[in-house]
């Protein structure tokens, strides 16, 4: 079976990590060897870069600096974690990948979706997920979930909520970006209604697995 590279995308509070954990438990039952990883991060160097990106003031970085840091961390992640895992026959479940740079930095931060695609190609060629699940949730609903989750349990300066704190117009543009990506690449990107219950969302994701397992066999 060809190991599959599967990414999960969405705005803030879409519930990606819960769905990834459930899918991982199911894949384990199916005896599909896999890893779970995330972006920004997923390798030692990429996690160091993550720390610069997800904490602190919303205006901490120029948009292009942010895009370059995201892409630098991804390049490390690809070469140190993703490609070695696939080469070892393991499937990869990845919490965010390059669609996040296209939507967050390209659409929401205004750098342009096409420029961000070009930047990805320059950095690491044509490495891409076999399939991507876009967990789609209305902006306000997602932000409410994300803000509730952060709570006040962590000290202000250690919270990973730098993007969450951006204004509503940022999050609306981000959502539009993800919807446009889904329209541009319907074969790869599957839109999932993430307003449903956790178990219904998981059932919708697993519904694609006949196709995915067939692809992996072929």
Among 5, 104, 124, 209, interactor with ligand TMP by CB under 6 A:
104
**Contact characters 124-163, ligand TMP, x per CB under 6 A:** ---------------------------------------x
Min dist. Cβ of residue 218 to ligand TMP (A): 30
DSSP one-letter string for 70-135: HHHHHHHHIIIIIHHHHHTT-EEEEE--HHHIIIIIIIISSS-HHHHHHHHHHHHTT---SEEEEE
Using DSSP, state whether 39 is helix, strand or coil.
coil
Asked if 96 interacts with ligand TMP (CB under 6 A), we say: yes
- Residue 14 and residue 99 in contact, taking contact as beta carbons nearer than 8 Å: no
Describe the chain by its helix, strand, coil percentages, rounded to 5. 55, 10, 30
Among 36, 52, 54, 83, interactor with ligand TMP by CB under 6 A:
54
Q: What is the dihedral of CA 206, 211, 217, 218, to 10 degrees?
A: -160
Among 43, 75, 81, 101, interactor with ligand TMP by CB under 6 A:
101
**Contact characters 11-50, ligand TMP, x per CB under 6 A:** -x--------------------------xx----------
Query: How far, in Å, CA of 61 to CA of 40, rounded?
Result: 15
Please identify, among the stretches 95-103, 120-128, 150-158, 180-188, the one whose residues bind ligand TMP according to the rule CB under 6 A.
95-103
Neighbours of 165 (CB within 10 A): 15
Q: 175-194: which residues touch ligand TMP (CB under 6 A)?
A: none
Asked if 70 interacts with ligand TMP (CB under 6 A), we say: yes
Q: How many chain residues touch ligand TMP (CB under 6 A)? A: 12
Diameter over CA atoms, the chain: 50
Which residue ranges make up the site for ligand TMP (CB under 6 A)? 12, 39-40, 54, 70, 95-96, 100-101, 104-105, 163
């Amino acid at each position: 079976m060809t190991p599959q590279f599967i990414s999960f995308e969405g705005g803030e509070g879409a519930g990606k990590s819960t769905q990834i954990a459930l899918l991982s438990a199911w894949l384990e039952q199916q005896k599909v060897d896999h890893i779970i990883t995330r972006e920004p991060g997923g390798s030692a160097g990429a996690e160091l870069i993550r720390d610069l990106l997800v904490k602190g003031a919303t205006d901490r970085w120029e948009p292009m600096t942010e895009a370059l840091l995201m892409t630098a961390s991804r390049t490390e992640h690809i070469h140190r974690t993703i490609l070695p895992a696939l080469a070892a026959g393991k499937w990869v479940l990845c919490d965010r990948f390059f669609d996040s740079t296209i939507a967050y930095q390209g659409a929401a931060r205004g750098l342009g979706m096409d420029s961000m695609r070009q930047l990805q190609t320059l950095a690491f060629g044509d490495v891409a997920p076999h399939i991507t699940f876009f967990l789609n949730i209305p902006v306000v609903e997602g932000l409410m979930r994300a803000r509730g989750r952060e709570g006040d349990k962590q000290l202000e300066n250690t919270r990973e909520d730098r993007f969450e704190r951006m204004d509503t117009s940022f999050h609306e543009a981000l959502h539009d970006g993800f919807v446009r990506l889904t329209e541009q690449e319907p074969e790869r990107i599957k839109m999932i209604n993430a307003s449903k219950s956790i178990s219904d969302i998981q059932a919708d994701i697993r519904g694609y697995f006949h196709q995915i397992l067939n692809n992996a066999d072929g």
